[in-house]
Structure 1
């Protein structure tokens, strides 16, 4: 009887001791959906975030990155995350433009926000709070910035375009908000997958196309089938890529882990800005040294783009509360930036 009591007492003490020890958290293994078939946004940006997430959580959160189309439709990544097929994504919010045009403001459009201004607005001007609230309320996912988009090339074109008159009737491949605004400015817009642009340019199905920054455009070969490289990329002067998280998966994290993932996104934004900005310098230098003709848009055309963009923005804001909120925030921020040039030297300016 004594031995039974002793054993029972020992077992009770062991249970009490085990209960007092810290519980070892189970590793969290997530799948990341993306729209990217390859290239820097997959191999560099998405995987950089995944690496930072693992490091900052001390190995508790591990993310496997999948290329576009693997876990669901490449342009339906938000649905893939919301349904739980993937717990997280690396995505472009503008792919959801058809659901709510506010996506264009958060992705970047012909508003004049540069990559540097986008980062300032996001992290110091209230943008990131609006971004997360919008995604959660309208789309039912958690989302925050994960990469910076550089200034795009305005056009790879077989026709020389400098003025608004040159733009009239131009058969232009584009998408999203710019497709609407460019049509209002007189272009004949065509929406097609990126994989079809080269052939369409080569065969004359389209006159011109916009796609990405110099780094992203270089491997496409657009410069080989379109003589003119037209600048600046006023239609997409900067932007953001996002990470989206399934709400249930997010709620299963500790507050510390949620903060760590947001920090991983912020670090990835900075890292992508460094890498892509430097890569763009080299890629553009090769364009300058090549056989293409570099064309600068006439200032009057740039003014016309801004004017039409503002009219488009006002129309959208009139009947979309979220669009109005984000637009007002961005316009207030841009107004605060008007003194920047009074005390900052221009980036890339020649020193004395």
Structure 2
């Protein structure tokens, strides 16, 4: 099944249910509003949730409320999307927290290694709770932005060239693309970390300026063709994840009629379902391909326990100590664990 099949099927079902394409009135009446959303790359699993929202907005308003997704950094560089939101250059944008830690310091908690959010349904609950936390809201308020929708990134793994890191000691000296807490965790293994946008990773590995790259497994590696220039992949290192979210310009949101604001929020649960389904679906295609063409690196439970002890709580504690004077860093970590536990009950 293609990545966007679920989205299109949902829109078709909605059209049938509400009589779209006929003379029936829109489900949500309102004025004509055109929004633009800035992102990078191309349509892929990462963007299915947004595509669902955009299509449903148009469907439920009979085309009165449109959200156009601009790919390929057509409106702004990925690292500058929050700047564009603050300037009002567009009404919505995606950003990744580790692209610019200084712009979103509280959001960096979601780069901490070994958080209990490997289950994507649990991850949605945790991320939604965090986006409502005052520290997250305050970070975005600095850019006249409001948190809206998480891409719910899966756990990261590495793809790389050269000798596979069969043991944790083999990471010593490797140059890796790993941001935030994941990067700090890899430094505990002796790796050298670098942070570049996803669009620059292929060139870095191809030219040998980095040995390996961590990305959400498996969709992102395949989306950026890293498997084409890699020799190996880690199957169960799972050092953590990060946060790439969609934010809305606060002024633009507040200027919407109430029914449009409500519609944006009401679409989120179904959009998250579409997002998760897209990741599951693409893994079914990518993982067999990786296994057939690349060396699979699997670590023992003893090796993983060693990694967690060295790069789990020690990295959390360092991050809390560094940020506790600016916001409730420990409270954010505690919230992750409490929300994850609640979501599993």
Shorter-chain TM range is 0.7 to 0.9
Structure 1 residue 40 displacement after superposition: 0.6
Which residue of structure 1 lines up, in the alignment, with residue 176 of structure 2?
172
Which residue of structure 2 lines up, in the alignment, with residue 116 of structure 1?
121
Structure 1 residue 275 displacement after superposition: 1.4
Structure number with bigger Rg: 1
CA contact (8 A) 1:164 1:301 kept: yes
Structure 1 residue 194 displacement after superposition: 3.4
Separation in structure 2 between the aligned mates of residue 68 and residue 127 of structure 1, nearest angstrom: 28
Structure-2 change in CA distance of 1:41 and 1:74 (3 Å):
farther
CA contact (8 A) 1:157 1:230 kept: no
Separation in structure 2 between the aligned mates of residue 25 and residue 268 of structure 1, nearest angstrom: 22
CA contact (8 A) 2:114 2:240 kept: yes
Over residues 70-119 of structure 1, what are the superposed CA-to-partner deviations in whole Å (9 max), with x where a residue is unaligned?
A: 22222111111121110112333443423343223346754241122212
Report the TM-score, using the length of structure 1 for normalisation: 0.77
Separation in structure 1 between the aligned mates of residue 164 and residue 195 of structure 2, nearest angstrom: 21
Which residue of structure 1 lines up, in the alignment, with residue 285 of structure 2?
282
Report the TM-score, using the length of structure 2 for normalisation: 0.78
SS in 1 for 2:280: helix
77, 82, 85: which one pairs with 1:81? 85
Separation in structure 2 between the aligned mates of residue 203 and residue 89 of structure 1, nearest angstrom: 30
Q: How does 1:58-73 map to 2 (within 5 A)?
A: 59-73=63-77
CA contact (8 A) 2:78 2:197 kept: no
Which residue of structure 2 lines up, in the alignment, with residue 325 of structure 1?
331
Which residue of structure 1 lines up, in the alignment, with residue 36 of structure 2?
31
Which residue of structure 2 lines up, in the alignment, with residue 163 of structure 1?
167
Over residues 217-264 of structure 1, what are the superposed CA-to-partner deviations in whole Å (9 max), with x where a residue is unaligned?
A: 225443343322112251235x55422111111111233322211222
Which residue of structure 2 lines up, in the alignment, with residue 148 of structure 1?
152
Structure 2 residue 272 is the aligned partner of structure 1 residue 269: yes
202, 212, 221: which one pairs with 2:216? 212
Structure 2 residue 227 is the aligned partner of structure 1 residue 250: no
Separation in structure 2 between the aligned mates of residue 40 and residue 106 of structure 1, nearest angstrom: 22
Q: Say what the alpha-carbon RMSD is for the aligned residues.
A: 2.9
Aligned length: 311
CA contact (8 A) 1:147 1:273 kept: no
Structure 1 residue 284 displacement after superposition: 0.4
Structure 1 residue 269 displacement after superposition: 1.7
Which residue of structure 1 lines up, in the alignment, with residue 299 of structure 2?
297
Separation in structure 2 between the aligned mates of residue 203 and residue 190 of structure 1, nearest angstrom: 15
> Please, which runs of 5 or more residues in structure 1 have no aligned partner?
1-23, 341-352
Separation in structure 2 between the aligned mates of residue 89 and residue 200 of structure 1, nearest angstrom: 26
Separation in structure 1 between the aligned mates of residue 329 and residue 59 of structure 2, nearest angstrom: 36
Structure 1 residue 58 displacement after superposition: 5.4
Structure 1 residue 314 displacement after superposition: 1.9
Separation in structure 1 between the aligned mates of residue 143 and residue 304 of structure 2, nearest angstrom: 34
CA contact (8 A) 1:162 1:301 kept: no
172, 185, 194: which one pairs with 1:190? 194
